[in-house]
Chains A and B, each alone.
Chain A
Amino acid sequence: MLIKLTGGKVYDPEHGVDGEVRDIFIENGRIVSPEPNARVAHEYPVHGKVIMAGGIDPHSHIGGGKMTIARTMLPEDHMADPVARTDLTRAGVGHAVPSTMLTGYRYAEMGYTAAFEPAMLPANARQAHMEMADTSIIDKGAFVMLGSDDFFLRQLAGKKDFSAIKDYIAWTMHAAQAIAVKVVNPGGISAFKFNQRKLDLNEKHVYYGVTPRDIIVNLARGLKELGVVHPLHIHGCNLGVPGGYETTLDTIKGAEGLPIHLTHIQFHSYGTEGDLKFSSAAAPIAEAINTNKNVSCDVGQVMFGQTCTASGDSMRQFVTSRSATPKKWVVMDIECDAGCGVVPFKYRDKSFVNALQWAIGLELFLLINDPWRLFLTTDHPNGGPFTWYPHLIRLLMDKSFRNDMMQKINPDALKYSTLASLDREYTLYEVAIMTRAGPARSLGLKDRGHLGVGAWADITVYDDNPDREAMFTKPDLLFKNGELIVRNGKIVKVVNGATHVARPSYDPSIEKSLKPYFDDYITVRMDNFRLSDDEIINGGRGSLIIQPTRARAA
């Protein structure tokens, strides 16, 4: 059945298309170029509307143990946003840590067709995938966490052959059904278990004697040589620490030109100027990112209001727990594998620190030149729930709106930021890069994030409303694999999204060292640790998309 979207303004940065009026044809789930006289079965007149590929969120905590801890912990937040079932959709709750099905619905209603869980612990991968399986409509994928797990640290400390380290990285990606690898406070989560309270980039882990820098370089080089498309996804040392921007700059230098992705850099761009020893260092961070083309980043924008921070960074979250609002929090040491910390948080516009965090995030957006290396995130829910994206887009596209919002925040905060002096306004084309084309390219999603012939028809149609917040809040139409899912911001059909994975090759003999390790130390057998394809597919509840990797180098 041939479907035609007629007369829309198309924003398809992957093909350099910037608002041209074009017709788009869909058949069998994909974008096609039909024969001139082919019969159109269904036509959607979308004259004057804005057409983009479906949104792709490359960093959003949507599934896994820490999210369900957060969900269980916050009944009072859920009670303000209960959602009843309909004949089509399931019941759930929204706001800071929405229930799984509702997470999918709300992403779709906002024009998104994929979201990626950035912090899946290998030991918790099975649960993370079960939660993602229950996240309706959207495609998903997960970055598996390495770098504080004892097997890797033992390899590094024991100066194991680098190919064995690569085999282990690749084995773990297979075992956990991941598309990429993340490192969180490299080595720091493990160091915290040995009662170390901070671990700077070049500081030695008290037991293993390795440094975060060693860990980053080995993982980044390993992924590059394995041919994994998405570079090492780094949540650096010293998150949230005033002066932490120096660690971020050193991390960029220390990467030795290897491809790296610095996540939620807003939390890693703090200086120490002023009476409160807290200031914006967005300018030097942006400059370093502009100069170093091997670096990409996402912002982790802070938005005002109640949310919940949920992170693998047990070391830093233990410190953050002092600011928990409401006063309850969880920190966990996990399985000789990782950790987590869940701390509810309320960002206040009248607070100097929170207002400055907000300003720093916006500065980073406005100072970093290349939207192909900068992705739009709030680090959901850490900086704020993903449902803030339309508001955030308006802040970036509308200088006068931004000025209005600046009037509402703590006025002292603006003294320590350059935000007020920045006039840049994002274009729709740049927004399409940051929210679709860029993440798809960075994650290596074949046939997604663009509108070229052959692409899967994940398509969002927006009203070209000058109020960009209203525009991006409620798309006119959303197609997922060519099926109409959302009309006028409301769900009209529910489907099960797929799971994106990447499978770099490895030498199976790595299991000869893994098996005794599991048998001797771990409370799960190696064979049970591994997630099978059947578990993801689960009788048709889910499906797998294996994204290509480049050839492995050695």
Chain B
Amino acid sequence: MASEKSRNGANHYENVACPFCGILCDDLEIGPSGEGLKVLKNGCVKSVAGFERPLREPSPQVDGKDVSLDEAVAAAARLIKESRLPVFGGLGTDVDGIRAVMALAEKGAGIVDHALSEGQYRNFKVLQSSGWVLTTLTEARNRADLFIVAGADVHELHPRFFERIVCNEASMFSDNPPKRTVVFLGENLDQSAVKGKRIGEVVTIPTKPERIAEILDAMRAMNKGATISGDTIAGLPRATIEDLFARCKGANYGVIIWAPPSLAFPNADLTVQAISEFVKEINLTTRFAGLSLGGNEGATSASAVCSWQSGFPLRVSFVSGAPDYDPERYAANRLLAANECDLLLWLTSFSPDLMPPESDVPTIFIGQPGTKPSRTPKVFIPVGTPGVDHAGTMVRVDNVVSLPLRKLRDSKLPRAADVLEKIEAAL
């Protein structure tokens, strides 16, 4: 595990992995500050908010009244047992937390889905119908000479992505690495972090995210040698897209970045598919890769574990005892809105802001202690944050790297995995 040094007699940690977005930066330095923790190095707005959130240790509650953990667990088990169709949602947790959710959902004959899966399904639908050519963070950091940001507000989602992957000065393949071109396909995307000596041209092609697919489809046609008539493509001058295509063809290793949460419009999976098909096809002659970002709130860990344990990424029902997959029917938001389920177990251990959609469905809320549900849940069990209150493991957004999370402080807050295992045992 990472080195632990004692400085001024207090705990001081280096090489700390941060669970507060999908990138899982693991170069943070964290030390004590008063009662809490302080990010000393390599922080960002998300990690500072997460690590420096004051420790609160509220009591578990049933119907708004303080109870012991055992009583809360017994009440939760009773609710699941009596439920005809429980939904296990939120799922903001680490690998062991998801493992425990899966076991509980199986035994409780329920449905599992992550709070951010609507975005993830923009990707899964493409993986399950046509596939893609992807790269990972280290590969992009060292190899790419062209980055195209397709409608993603990368800086908002991952405040250190540009610093670590695009603006890095050292590169594996040259002592004097060439400058990089960064193209923003979109309007009002934060470009402020794209700076430094590695950055050459920064090109902005203003377009609505809904029209990105048209641009990629036009480039697919160009790549196949087709002539495109008309002066505009997706409302932009044709020459702009021809220029973009020429950059793609001329790159040694182009990387096109998208983030499913930023493609929040109907049928956005078709945009992911247009990007992916373009990348597949241009690889017949030159090298190019996609890089999908997002994966915040443990979304990548949830879908990875759900896939390897059940065969399906999320939106799996265990009502029959066997995994049953339906990416439309078993969406938690839809089940709640349609009142098709009679119990919600909501799990959020990173952010106090990850809230279930409004509904009248009775709720078991297993949450970060600062969460303030809008309605009093039937059962509330505060849990620790993986990587702060207890050790754990998470899967990074590129679905390749996993990182160990560390316990940085002592708290009375239990691990979500332990709470869920207790509930399962009480079923």
Contact = CB atoms under 8 A, between A and B. Distances in A.
Interface of A: 63, 65, 67-69, 71-75, 78-79, 82-85, 90-93, 97-101, 121, 123-124, 126-127, 130-131, 134, 150, 192-195, 207, 318, 321, 324, 327-337, 342, 520-525, 527-528, 532, 534-535, 538
B172 A85 contact: no
Interface in B116-167: 124, 127-139, 141-143, 164-165
B282 to A, nearest CB: 11
B103 A332 contact: no
Given A98-B311, A134-B99, A193-B287, 8 more contacts: A85-B106, A91-B318, A97-B311, A127-B400, A192-B287, A194-B287, A195-B287, A521-B142
A68 B307 contact: yes
Interface stretch (B51-59, B223-231, B322-330): B322-330
Contacts of A193: 139, 143, 253, 287
Interface string B294-306: 0000000001110
Interface string B49-82: 0000000000000000000000000000000000
Nearest to B124: A72
Contacts of B17: 528
Contacts of B287: 192-195, 333
Contacts of A335: 136-139, 400-401
A194 B143 CA distance: 9
Given A150-B172, A195-B287, A528-B15, A124 B308 contact: no
Interface in B82-110: 95-96, 99, 103, 106-107
Nearest to A330: B131
B320 interface: yes
A323 B127 CA distance: 17
Interface in B160-185: 164-165, 170-173
A515 to B, nearest CB: 11
A99 B133 contact: no
Contacts of A83: 322
B313 interface: yes
A336 B172 contact: yes
Given A91-B106, A193-B253, A527-B2, A65 B399 contact: yes
B252 interface: yes
Contact of A68 (B139, B283, B304, B324): B304
Given A92-B323, A521-B141, A521-B142, A123 B400 contact: yes
Interface of B: 1-3, 15, 17, 26-27, 95-96, 99, 103, 106-107, 124, 127-139, 141-143, 164-165, 170-173, 252-253, 280, 283, 286-287, 289, 303-305, 307-313, 318, 320-325, 393, 395, 399-404
B131 A328 contact: yes
Contact of B95 (A63, A92, A93, A130): A130
Nearest to B1: A532
A127 B324 CA distance: 24
Contacts of A84: 320-322
Contacts of B321: 84-85, 91
24 contacts: A68-B308, A68-B399, A79-B325, A83-B322, A91-B106, A91-B323, A93-B323, A126-B393, A150-B172, A193-B253, A195-B252, A328-B131, A333-B139, A335-B137, A335-B138, A336-B142, A521-B142, A523-B138, A524-B26, A524-B138, A527-B15, A528-B15, A528-B403, A534-B1
Contacts of B143: 193, 333, 336
A99 B2 contact: no
B106 A328 contact: no
Q: Tell me the interface secondary structure of chain A in the complex.
A: mixed
Contact of B131 (A101, A329, A535): A329
Contacts of A194: 287
A-B pairs, 6 with minimum CB distance: A84-B321, A93-B311, A82-B322, A78-B311, A126-B402, A84-B322
Nearest to B399: A65
A342 B127 CA distance: 11
A521 B311 contact: no
A402 to B, nearest CB: 33
Most B CB contacts (10 A, CB to CB) among A67, A84, A97 go to A84
Contacts of B107: 85
B30 to A, nearest CB: 14
Contacts of B307: 68, 71-72
Q: Tell me the interface secondary structure of chain B in the complex.
A: mixed
Nearest to A527: B2
Contacts of B304: 68, 127
A405 B351 CA distance: 60
Contacts of B312: 72, 75, 78, 93
B320 A127 contact: no
Contacts of B289: 332-333
A99 B309 contact: yes
Contacts of A318: 133, 283
Contact of A334 (B141, B165, B395, B400): B400
Contacts of B311: 71, 74-75, 78, 92-93, 97-99
A58 to B, nearest CB: 22
B139 A73 contact: no
Given A121-B400, A334-B136, A78 B129 contact: no
A342 B138 CA distance: 21
B135 A332 contact: yes
B133 A332 contact: yes
Contacts of B395: 127
B106 A131 contact: no
Contact of B133 (A97, A207, A331): A331
B172 A90 contact: no
Nearest to B289: A333
A92 B309 CA distance: 7
A332 B136 contact: yes
A31 B170 CA distance: 57
A78 B306 CA distance: 14
A71 to B, nearest CB: 5
Contacts of B99: 134
Contacts of A65: 399-400
B304 to A, nearest CB: 6
Nearest to A97: B311
Nearest to B109: A85
A327 B289 CA distance: 19
B308 A134 contact: yes
A75 B128 contact: yes
A336 B141 CA distance: 10
B400 A124 contact: yes
A156 B416 CA distance: 47
B73 to A, nearest CB: 19
B406 to A, nearest CB: 10
Nearest to A337: B138
Contacts of B280: 321
Nearest to A344: B131
A78 B323 CA distance: 9
Nearest to B169: A520
Contacts of B305: 130
A83 B107 CA distance: 14
A194 B286 CA distance: 9
B12 to A, nearest CB: 15
A69 B142 contact: no
A528 B133 CA distance: 27
A82 B127 contact: no
A525 B393 contact: no
B134 A330 contact: yes
A334 B305 CA distance: 20
A332 B127 CA distance: 13
A524 to B, nearest CB: 6
Most B CB contacts (10 A, CB to CB) among A93, A332, A528 go to A528
A537 B198 CA distance: 43
Contacts of A101: 309
A327 B280 CA distance: 13
